[in-house]
Amino acid sequence: MAVVVVALLAWPIGMLVWANGKIEHVDALSGVANTPGTTYLIAGSDSRADGTIEDTTTPGARTDTIMLLHVPPSGPAALISLPRDTYVEIPGHDAGKLNASFSLGGAPLLVTTVETLTGIHVDHYAEIGFGGVEQVVDAAGGVNLCLESPPLSFPLNDVNSGLVWDAPGCKDVAGPMALAFARMRYSDPTSDIGRAQRQQQLISAVTGAVAKPSLALQPAKQVRLVSAGLGALFVSNGTNIVDLGRLALAFRSATGPGGITGTPPILSIDYRPGGVGSTVELDPDTSPAFFTAIMTGTLPAGAVGGMPGA
pLDDT digits (tens, 9 = 90+) for 126-153: 988 777 778 888 888 889 999 998 889 9
- Neighbouring CB atoms inside 10 A of 249's CB total 14
Local confidence band at 17 (pLDDT 50, 70, 90 cut-offs) = confident
230 pLDDT band, cuts 50/70/90, is confident
Percentage of the chain with pLDDT > 70?
A: 84
Give residue 65's pLDDT.
86
Q: Dmax over Cα atoms in the chain, in whole Å? A: 72
pLDDT at position 1 is 52
Q: What is the per-residue pLDDT for 98?
A: 95
For the chain, give the percent of residues with pLDDT over 90: 52
On the question of pLDDT at 108 being above 70, the answer is yes
Pairwise CA distance, residues 200 & 180, whole Å? 14
What is the pLDDT confidence band of residue 213, given thresholds at 50, 70 and 90? low
Specify the length of the chain in residues: 310
Closest-CA residue to 98 (of 64, 56, 124)? 64
Q: Is the pLDDT of residue 267 over 80?
A: yes
Distances (CA, A) of 137 to 24, 53, 133, 171, 258: 20, 20, 6, 14, 25
Task: Please state the pTM of the whole predicted model.
Answer: 0.84
pLDDT value for 217:
60
